[in-house]
Amino acid sequence: MARMAGTAARAEALLGHGVVSTTPVAGGDICTATRLRLSDGRSAVIKTRPTPPEGFFAREAEGLRWLADAGGVNGGANVPELLAVSDDCIVLTWVEPGKPSGDVAERFGRALAATHAAGAAQFGADVDGFIGLAPLPNRSLPTWPEFYASRRVMPYVRAAQDRQALSHEQAMIIEAAMKRIHDLAGDPEPPARVHGDLWSGNIIWGTDGEAWIIDPAAHGGHRETDLAMMALFGLPHLQRVIDAYDEAAPLADGWKHRVALHQLHPLLVHAVLFGGTYGSKATAAAQSLLDGPSDD
């Protein structure tokens, strides 16, 4: 009760509106989420963490704003409105969760294509960010293969080795794939405006009949990265999303084989954070790239 009262007081100070009630939101290992009913009739959600890394919530807010800029007349993916942000919390409009449907999945696929098409000024971002609580190096490099190998994969290969989540032999296989990344990456594409951590838990299927994206690790990247992330842990109606996306913004030849390339980074992040079999899964993904496309 004391924590809830403190959360309500923090929200009131930031929003300038009274909080009528608070309700804990299930899930979320990184932050504590609380639904707020405000005195003006709106609902919001506040995410808090006692000692977040410096700039943690600020980076999230910047990513949400940047992704939201691709909406409106451009028809980009829906992003909850940012109501307030501070060093220890962030407050967003509440999205009432509903059930996934094929029609919503198709609209989301088209909207995500529009978000990606809004583009970015560079591969990377002006400042480093976070994926979960893990650091996300964002310093720009001229091409996506250079950026992905140097800012996404190899830092986490080293970190996974340090945490004994990846053996030397496994690291060498992934490094061998990175040495061939210019051949593996397909034809060059301009920087896309990507979410960067688009697993199923960061997509809310709203009761309003829309899909909403949250918790970004936004940066200028490759559009196939978001699609590969959706496939990594499973997404309802994924094929409907992909088909609608491909119709709106046709994917390049060979994109299915490159899914393993784009999944290397999140698999390595999980190896660093959670250990288990993620190091082996990352190694298997790299080996599949070195082996080349299958005949089927």
Burial class (CB within 10 angstroms; exposed 0-12, middle 13-18, buried 19+) of 55: middle
Q: What is the 3-state secondary structure (H, E, C) of 226-289?
A: HHHHHHHCCCCCHHHHHHHHHHHCCCCCCHHHHHHHHHHHHHHHHHHHHCCCHHHHHHHHHHHH
Written as six digits, the tokens of 53 are: 């890394």
Confirm if 33 and 47 have CB atoms less than 8 A apart.
yes
Confirm if 262 and 147 have CB atoms less than 8 A apart.
no
Q: Which of 40, 126, 183, 197 is catalytic?
A: 197
Helix boundaries (H) for 23-123: 56-68, 102-117
Question: Does residue 197 carry a catalytic annotation?
Answer: yes
Alpha carbon of 55 to those of 14, 51, 66, 200: distances in Å? 18, 11, 16, 25
Buried b (16+ CB within 10 A) or exposed e, 207-241: eeebbbbbbbbbbbbbbbbbbbbbbbeebebbebb
Report d(CA 238, CA 224) in Å as an integer.
14
Confirm if 225 and 136 have CB atoms less than 8 A apart.
no
Confirm if 45 and 94 have CB atoms less than 8 A apart.
yes
Catalytic residues, which ones? 197
